[in-house]
Structure 1
């Protein structure tokens, strides 16, 4: 009588094949089963009980009964055995999820007071190279305190960004800028990746005597983001009028959101909203503080300056509404200390600007990127559980 490989369980023999062993015969060991040695029918595998293994054994037995021959077991081939593993579908699913998560990133918005950026400053290779590195991290980067009336300095920066495509990020950049504002004709300049964002509107706030450098609102659309359409409103406040100008941003919000029927608004820039310019008592006079619909993403205790002599949260990011707030990647609003990251001495960093950039990430619109950490952990757990069955 033909026998099959089996295992001892509590003194009794558990049948794993289609027939049991002949009484008194020595059961083949698992090693002997896998090598085709042992009992007279030891070329049958000791396998874990699973639907796959049971089906294969039954197919093999049917073929033997019909033809009198048996093909070499697929389980004897280690390369073939891997493809019959029940955990492989889960493994591939998890791999696809991991690759998708790694293959895309959130949408980064930055704001940087670059301190009198113009053609002369752009001709300093070290300065231009550093600013290029800073801007190339961002899908949209607001530059403040640009004094580049003929646009040659910004064009030099764009040329540097676009020449550096293969070295930094692989994107093409364009700019949209306000006219010169205030006595020193400062400009608000947005540099953005054309691959990930489009300008759908721009508007210069014009109410007289409200601001020294009135905000220049730009509406963007990005299919990469979950929120899609949003408005960025910059401000470089006059330090002595910081409280009044920050408060009047509420009036700008009402006008611009009505103009474009879009309340997904972000304020960003150098507000001088700290230290002696805006105190705790002053906040009661600023509607962006008293109105709970506005969220300040850069806190009061953050230092946005380069110098060791100051510790002030001058540069801020503020968003309106729960919709926009939910579209923000949690804890992504921060100061980017490029001096530390790029290993630039503080003394050299101050020569570029006395401010540090601030930034925030918008969530991606990719469905897999919305997967929660719990889903990823469940996938890993499923793979590990299947591997030990």
Structure 2
């Protein structure tokens, strides 16, 4: 199961209405079971609804659709953005979510993490909490250090150690030196950084910084990662795009990682509305169901008829046996009465000469 974080750089209606940008964004997202988009500037929500609709109309996504979960607009000033998750319903179930809130008189995060908990039954971990990050470049060190408090809050709320932190950390270059990175609490055990410092996560040719990262908490999560799967996805190279086309999509590459698969279980899937392309299939399935129902009714009728007939025969037998018993009892009574009559009238028949009744 592949998970990704992607800073899509000012994603709003103008980019969604751009056919080239939309097509390539859909191709990128379709590679992942779960992806969280950063820097979504969709104030009304219409852009993301359109993106989800187009995403689920793309190739096989129609039969294996995505669902979406979005935060509110986050930020300190007029500049605000959203965290938006897209996840395949066949592989992932959204279990819970919440907006992290800092304590009173504390304002470390420019955009507080919008955290979700998912059930992923095809993986070895089974469930997972995702903490998205988009730090302010100038405050990257402070915000990253404070993520320890966010992890503590998640553990206390949900009682899980299966935690992944992912997004645009701004954890390189002039924003965070290697020395400062080594001093933040999230950089030491039990935290494990999966994206190495030599990985280029920017699509611009002007630098090769590793701004975007994925961090997991604890040895269990580290063991659940497919070796060498943590990397950036160079969509310019994969899709053979020009520099201009690439930057129109984003100045960042997605960062991704893959979880090891475990014992497969059937994840719940949401029923989709019938389309023209599947209408014939649906009708055929309906005919099959009707045939099976008719067969079931026929078998049930014969079984019920046999039961009634058997029950009727049993009742008749019982009634006949009862009648026989009543006749036998009457014979005994008559015989006893006859003996008394003989005794009183002095007839010469003795008891031994009389036929003994069967009673």
Q: Which residue of 1 aligns with 2:322?
A: none
Post-superposition shift, 1:185?
Answer: 1.7
Q: Which residue of 2 aligns with 1:192?
A: 87
Q: Which residue of 1 aligns with 2:30?
A: 136
- List structure 1 segments (4+ residues) > 6 angstroms apart after TM superposition: none
Where 1:306 maps in the other structure, the secondary structure is coil
Instruction: Tell me whether 277-286 or 331-340 shows the greater mean CA deviation.
Output: 277-286
CA distance in 2, matches of 1:278, 1:212: 17
Post-superposition shift, 1:209?
Answer: 0.3
String of CA shifts for 1:25-62, please: whole Å, max 9, x gaps. Answer: xxxxxxxxxxxxxxxxxxxxxxxxxxxxxxxxxxxxxx
CA distance in 2, matches of 1:235, 1:277: 15
Post-superposition shift, 1:169?
Answer: 8.1
Q: Which residue of 2 aligns with 1:269?
A: 167
Change (3 A) 1:298 1:139: same
Where 2:208 maps in the other structure, the secondary structure is coil
String of CA shifts for 1:184-238, please: whole Å, max 9, x gaps. Answer: 2210011000111011111111104020011111101011111111100001000
Match for 1:301 among 198, 212, 215?
Answer: 198
Match for 1:349 among 230, 246, 250?
Answer: 246
CA distance in 2, matches of 1:195, 1:267: 23
Match for 1:251 among 127, 149, 157?
Answer: 149
Post-superposition shift, 1:156?
Answer: 1.3
Unpaired runs of 5+ residues, structure 1, are 1-106, 368-389
Q: Which has the higher helix share?
A: 2
Where 2:219 maps in the other structure, the secondary structure is helix
Compare CA radii of gyration and give the structure with the larger one.
2
Post-superposition shift, 1:256?
Answer: 0.9
CA distance in 1, matches of 2:43, 2:161: 32
Post-superposition shift, 1:366?
Answer: 3.7
Post-superposition shift, 1:170?
Answer: 4.2
CA distance in 1, matches of 2:90, 2:108: 36
String of CA shifts for 1:125-155, please: whole Å, max 9, x gaps. Answer: 1101000000000000110000111111111
Q: Which residue of 1 aligns with 2:107?
A: 209
Contact 1:165 1:171 in 2 (8 A): no
Where 1:111 maps in the other structure, the secondary structure is strand
CA distance in 2, matches of 1:161, 1:171: 11
1:109 maps to 2:3: yes
Post-superposition shift, 1:284?
Answer: 3.6
CA distance in 2, matches of 1:165, 1:152: 22
Unpaired runs of 5+ residues, structure 2, are 265-359
Task: With the length of structure 1 as denominator, give the TM-score of the two structures.
Answer: 0.65
Instruction: Tell me whether 149-158 or 188-197 shows the greater mean CA deviation.
Output: 149-158
Q: How many residues align?
A: 259
Contact 2:6 2:254 in 1 (8 A): yes
Give me the CA root mean square deviation.
1.2
Between the two structures, name the one with larger relative contact order (CA 8 Å, sep ≥ 6). 2
Q: Which residue of 2 aligns with 1:163?
A: 57
1:336 maps to 2:230: no
